[in-house]
Structure 1
Amino acid sequence: MYVYNDFDEKFVRERTAQFRGQVARRIDGSLTEDEFKPLRLMNGLYLQLHAYMLRVAIPYGTLSSTQMDQLAYLAETYDKGYGHFTTRQNIQYNWPKLADVPDMLDALADVGMHAIQTSGNTIRNVTADHFAGAAADEIEDPRPVAELLRQWSTDHPEFQFLPRKFKIAITGSPNDRAVTRAHDIGLRMVRNDAGEPGFEVIVGGGLGRTPMVGKVLRDFLPKADLLPYVEAIVSVYNLLGRRDNKYKARIKITVHENGLDKIRELVDAKFEQIKAGFAGFDQQLLAQIEQHFAAPAFKQASTAGFEAAKAANPAFRSWSDTNLTAHKADGYAIVSVSIKKQGATPGDATADQMRVLAQLARDYGHDELRISHEQNVILPHVHKSDLPAVYAALREADLATANIGLISDIIACPGMDYCALATARSIPVAQEIATRFDELKLEHEIGPLKIKISGCINACGHHHVGHIGILGLDRAGVENYQITLGGDGTEDAVVGERAGPGFAYDEIVPAIERIVLAYLELRASDEETFLQAYRRVGMAPFKAALYPAQEDKANAA
């Protein structure tokens, strides 16, 4: 993984020292909150409902054990003993004191981390497939390119005051685990007819109040052209994007209002104008970066112990079935650690749990961890012979929940418990849904099912692309929850369809139960997933289950 060079170290230290002075002036009253706001946002500091919140970047979701240990230190020293992993592969601290934030940033810099550009109208933390560098279906590890994009975008003088925030996601696999089609720019690695790797470039995706699936701007872009082409896209957006209305300022609206053909024409022209200026330096830098992402020295060992443990221990077998993914190296597996125990807050990890994960990475995982956009933690490289020991350690730390991809593996934003923008609670809804289906003992029978919950129209919980999406709104001072069905965040991305009128807080869990029970009745076989069943039968039978009074009235008529 990437390690800071002298330039990185100097840049981050200077930025932290600058912000320390700004914080001091805010505390002594030299700066008003309005004057301080743009300065703190440039350094990832928000003002939430109850306190400041610091959002720390985890570029493309990759961490070392030392970095995870430092995140644990920050949680117990400056917060309430936990951190919250987000859908942007960041970690948020919800309770820091303003005076402590510069010390937190210095502590992050000690381990090659920062909070720069985790907020503001700039290019945000570049996200990536959380299985990058490990997945069996991967064409190439996309993280070197993600690091190139991070270095290019950090403090880029032209792109610090874009019309609106700008998000880039990248995957090296044909199976999209990075939700690329819901980003301002999505990059999917593909091969051309000659077998050469390059990128499908997607532009204009986004969720929020106007959800749109991104459109393909280039079917195949050679890797060598990627950086100048991305710069051309952002440059065109910076000039065309609206600044008169922040709700219409994202690039998805720019693409919609101008048309994809015009955007392509402008981007191609800009690309031709600027690409010579890169003079291959970006490729030289990429070659240097790639050296940091060499595959670890995978070991050779028997997997017989793993197979024996599965045969002897049903709990271990269940966990293996749900929480392991195929690895590109023989004898290895990718371990997804659920931070979603039934009844827990999705994405919250205690300092003690972070330390356990860091130690497992040191002992068994080639010193690598990943944070997924689904708010879980990944050990990307674990030999199968070590899995029984990993599982035992996870059980002791209360981290061995066998529910990855199941109904309790819910994405949820912080909602009205923390966020100043939220109009409804998200966390309690997620907790109650997970608890209810654990009580019913139906989770494994239901199979793969992605529920995503947002506490406001900004859609930080990705509800639009949930198989079942839940959006919390305020209706005359009362929480009201809309349900969408059929959303998908993969390479076949689609925005879910709204089912009908919303539900009160005390009605939303029974409503979800009715949907799921209807699915179990409707599915053609035990192997047919919820999404497959929905695509086969459509909305009507689910709507009938959701609104039985309306169905009874229609039948009576």
Structure 2
Amino acid sequence: MYRYDEFDARLVKDRVEQFRGQVTRRLSGELLEDEFKPLRLQNGVYLQLHAYMLRVAIPYGQLNGEKLRRMAEIARKYDRGYGHFTTRQNIQYNWVGLKDIPDALNDLAEVEMHAIQTSGNCIRNVTSDHFAGAAADEVMDPRPWCEIIRQWSTFHPEFAFLPRKFKFAVTAAAHDRAAIAVHDIGLRIVKRGEQVGFEVYVGGGQGRTPHLAALVNDFVPEAELLDYAEAIMRVYNRHGRRDNKYKARIKILVAELGAEEFTRQVEAEYAAQRSHEKIDLPQAEIDRIHAYFAPPAFDGEDGTAAFEAAKAAEPAFAEWAEVNLHPHKQAGHASVTVSLKPIGGAAGDATDRQMEIVADLAERYAYDDIRVSHAQNLVLPHVPAKHLYAIWQALDAAGLATPNESLITDLIVCPGLDYCNLANARSIPIGQAVQEVFADPKYQREIGRLHINISGCINACGHHHVGHIGILGVDRKGEEFYQISLGGRADEKAAIGSIAGPALKGEDVPEAVKRIVDTYMALRTSPDELFIDTLERAGADPFKEALYATA
């Protein structure tokens, strides 16, 4: 994890005090809301349906116990005792009073956290694989490059007023857990012999006009990455629309120019960079930042026998271990998904006490490392096998041991109309109703890996376009309806789902989803054939027929 130097600490503290003055002027009436808006957005503050919302940056989704414990304190002291973890690997507080936000930011600054560039038309939080540094299938740890991009992009004068918000994602595995195809710039770390480089994808995104990113370069050497990224940003800054926010994202520019012409312009911009414009990124600096992300001193004790014995003695633990553990590159270790999707809960929400429990577990058993996943869960990436049973016991007591990682009840759900002033429909109640239909853990395991994503409006904060089953809330003359899409995916075979047909009333959605799942169970060739594979093999027609079948 990167650590602040004295310049970072001073900059963030000064920013807090600057914003404190702006908040004082707003509360006194000296600043009107329209005048205050660009100032608050630069500090991660949104105005939602009922209150201001504070979005706190969690760079590449990494925390330690101290940071998570402070986030719990913020929830308890300034909010209603919980926080909401997002698909951008950040946390949001939905009920912080405006007068308290400077104090909350000051408390966060004490543990090297802030809300800078979590909103506005700038480069947002750089996201990554939540198993980074632990995954057995990665080429290398992608987090150092996320940090290099973060340092380069923060307060960059050319990127402070882009045509629209801008998002990077970085992965280093063939299996994409960072959804790089639906980001403005997606990077996959690859190796050619001993040389490290990047596949560069540009122009992905969701919202009202979803696009998959185009591959614009299949190998940019690591020392040239920032120069190449700067060339992309300059082409976007030059041609991106500022007169129409619906056409302002880089995905529209790439689509309108065509990937070939866009790539040609990027290459021309890159070639035109003069020597004094180049970013000096010496190997010594790359190595220095990599050193911040050195793996922990792994426990050499083989706890596998104790782990297996605990599974044999406790069936509930065995069920959880089957679903919520992920292979680790270090023998005798696993990565643990801490589910924030209890049946009937709000996806991504964690109470202050739950956050403190995860912080305690990380410090005691898991090398003090915690991640936020883009699926709105928490992860303990490095856990010795001998501690897995103790961790499960503590998580189970705290309501955090739902065995559903990547199963049908592990839904991605945006806050929807319960909180967001952009939403057309509620998302949380629909997600809860769908969960209830599939609440039986055995039933979930029989269904297997299946991703349902729900958004309350076309902005697609719930990533409905890339759900195996996507659900989009729409407004029809003041009544909430839900549009179903099929076939989306956010992995290395990324695809945008296709709308199945007319929208449904909210009360009809859970049983409609069950009919889709029943069709899958009847059509699959074996229990090992996943829903998305059956859908791609059999086509959408039988699923559409089931979706609109009447009792």
TM range (shorter): over 0.9
> What residue in structure 1 maps to residue 150 of structure 2?
150
Q: Does 1:314 align with 2:324?
A: no
Alpha-carbon distance between aligned partners in 2 of 1:199 and 1:35, rounded to the nearest angstrom: 41
Q: Which amino acid counterpart does residue 262 of structure 1 have in structure 2?
A: E
Alpha-carbon distance between aligned partners in 1 of 2:190 and 2:470, rounded to the nearest angstrom: 30
Deviation per residue, 1:264-319 (Å, 9 max, x gap): 12211222333733353464433221111011000111221001111121111111
The aligned runs of 1:6-405 (5 Å cut-off) are: 6-192=6-192, 194-274=193-273, 276=275, 277-278=277-278, 280-281=280-281, 283-302=283-302, 303-405=304-406
Deviation per residue, 1:28-68 (Å, 9 max, x gap): 11100000000000000000000000000000000011000
Is this contact kept in 2: 1:148–1:285, CA < 8 A?
A: no
Deviation per residue, 1:390-422 (Å, 9 max, x gap): 111111111111000100000000000000000
Is this contact kept in 2: 1:174–1:189, CA < 8 A?
A: no
Structure 2: state its 5+ residue gaps.
none
Alpha-carbon distance between aligned partners in 1 of 2:417 and 2:30, rounded to the nearest angstrom: 32
Deviation per residue, 1:196-255 (Å, 9 max, x gap): 321110000000000001100001111111111111111110111011110000000001
Once the two structures are TM-superposed, the CA of residue 440 in structure 1 deviates from its matched residue by 8.9
Alpha-carbon distance between aligned partners in 1 of 2:502 and 2:151, rounded to the nearest angstrom: 46
Is this contact kept in 2: 1:228–1:275, CA < 8 A?
A: no
> What residue in structure 1 maps to residue 482 of structure 2?
481
Deviation per residue, 1:79-117 (Å, 9 max, x gap): 000000000000000000101000011011000000001
Is this contact kept in 2: 1:337–1:376, CA < 8 A?
A: yes
Alpha-carbon distance between aligned partners in 1 of 2:435 and 2:326, rounded to the nearest angstrom: 23
Structure 1 residues 314, 439: CA separation in 2 closer, same or farther (over 3 Å shift)? closer
Q: Which amino acid counterpart does residue 199 of structure 1 have in structure 2?
A: F
Structure 1 residues 467, 10: CA separation in 2 closer, same or farther (over 3 Å shift)? same
> What residue in structure 2 maps to residue 444 of structure 1?
445
Alpha-carbon distance between aligned partners in 2 of 1:502 and 1:73, rounded to the nearest angstrom: 42
Is this contact kept in 1: 2:142–2:170, CA < 8 A?
A: yes
Q: Could you say what secondary structure the match of 1:349 adopts? A: strand
CA RMSD in angstroms, aligned pairs only = 1.2
Count matched residues.
Answer: 549
Deviation per residue, 1:438-469 (Å, 9 max, x gap): 15952111010000000000000000000000
Structure 1: state its 5+ residue gaps.
553-557
Q: Could you say what secondary structure the match of 1:541 adopts? A: helix
Alpha-carbon distance between aligned partners in 1 of 2:100 and 2:465, rounded to the nearest angstrom: 37
Q: Could you say what secondary structure the match of 1:165 adopts? A: coil
Structure 1 residues 25, 283: CA separation in 2 closer, same or farther (over 3 Å shift)? farther
Alpha-carbon distance between aligned partners in 1 of 2:65 and 2:531, rounded to the nearest angstrom: 37
Alpha-carbon distance between aligned partners in 2 of 1:264 and 1:539, rounded to the nearest angstrom: 34
Alpha-carbon distance between aligned partners in 1 of 2:258 and 2:264, rounded to the nearest angstrom: 10
Deviation per residue, 1:116-157 (Å, 9 max, x gap): 010001100100000000000010101111011111111111
Is this contact kept in 1: 2:227–2:279, CA < 8 A?
A: no
Q: Could you say what secondary structure the match of 1:403 adopts? A: coil
Q: Which amino acid counterpart does residue 140 of structure 2 have in structure 1?
A: E
Deviation per residue, 1:476-512 (Å, 9 max, x gap): 1111100011111001100011110110011111111
> What residue in structure 1 maps to residue 511 of structure 2?
510
> What residue in structure 1 maps to residue 416 of structure 2?
415
Structure 1 residues 388, 267: CA separation in 2 closer, same or farther (over 3 Å shift)? same
Structure 1 residues 440, 69: CA separation in 2 closer, same or farther (over 3 Å shift)? closer
Alpha-carbon distance between aligned partners in 2 of 1:196 and 1:430, rounded to the nearest angstrom: 45
* Structure 1 outlier segments of 4+, above 4 Å: none
Structure 1 residues 279, 510: CA separation in 2 closer, same or farther (over 3 Å shift)? closer
Alpha-carbon distance between aligned partners in 2 of 1:73 and 1:533, rounded to the nearest angstrom: 46
Q: Which amino acid counterpart does residue 208 of structure 2 have in structure 1?
A: R
Is this contact kept in 1: 2:226–2:279, CA < 8 A?
A: no
Is this contact kept in 1: 2:403–2:441, CA < 8 A?
A: no
Structure 1 residues 368, 517: CA separation in 2 closer, same or farther (over 3 Å shift)? same
> What residue in structure 2 maps to residue 493 of structure 1?
494
Alpha-carbon distance between aligned partners in 1 of 2:12 and 2:287, rounded to the nearest angstrom: 23
Q: Which amino acid counterpart does residue 206 of structure 2 have in structure 1?
A: L
Once the two structures are TM-superposed, the CA of residue 195 in structure 1 deviates from its matched residue by 4.7
Q: Which amino acid counterpart does residue 243 of structure 1 have in structure 2?
A: R
Alpha-carbon distance between aligned partners in 2 of 1:195 and 1:453, rounded to the nearest angstrom: 42
Alpha-carbon distance between aligned partners in 2 of 1:195 and 1:144, rounded to the nearest angstrom: 18
Is this contact kept in 2: 1:198–1:222, CA < 8 A?
A: yes
Is this contact kept in 2: 1:139–1:197, CA < 8 A?
A: no
Q: Could you say what secondary structure the match of 1:442 adopts? A: helix
Identify the range of structure 1 (127-136 vs 183-192) with the bigger mean alpha-carbon deviation. Answer: 183-192
Once the two structures are TM-superposed, the CA of residue 436 in structure 1 deviates from its matched residue by 1.5
> What residue in structure 2 maps to residue 555 of structure 1?
none
Identify the range of structure 1 (217-226 vs 268-277) with the bigger mean alpha-carbon deviation. Answer: 268-277
Deviation per residue, 1:170-218 (Å, 9 max, x gap): 01111100000000000011222x2532111000000000000110000
Structure 1 residues 288, 189: CA separation in 2 closer, same or farther (over 3 Å shift)? same
Is this contact kept in 1: 2:176–2:492, CA < 8 A?
A: yes
Is this contact kept in 1: 2:404–2:441, CA < 8 A?
A: no
Alpha-carbon distance between aligned partners in 1 of 2:274 and 2:427, rounded to the nearest angstrom: 45
Is this contact kept in 1: 2:121–2:164, CA < 8 A?
A: yes
Alpha-carbon distance between aligned partners in 2 of 1:547 and 1:312, rounded to the nearest angstrom: 45
Alpha-carbon distance between aligned partners in 2 of 1:358 and 1:3, rounded to the nearest angstrom: 18
Q: Could you say what secondary structure the match of 1:527 adopts? A: coil
Q: Could you say what secondary structure the match of 2:157 adopts? A: coil
Is this contact kept in 2: 1:174–1:190, CA < 8 A?
A: no
Is this contact kept in 2: 1:51–1:94, CA < 8 A?
A: yes
Q: Which amino acid counterpart does residue 335 of structure 1 have in structure 2?
A: V
Q: Which amino acid counterpart does residue 63 of structure 2 have in structure 1?
A: L
Alpha-carbon distance between aligned partners in 1 of 2:274 and 2:15, rounded to the nearest angstrom: 30
Alpha-carbon distance between aligned partners in 1 of 2:446 and 2:137, rounded to the nearest angstrom: 27
> What residue in structure 2 maps to residue 425 of structure 1?
426
Alpha-carbon distance between aligned partners in 1 of 2:21 and 2:40, rounded to the nearest angstrom: 11
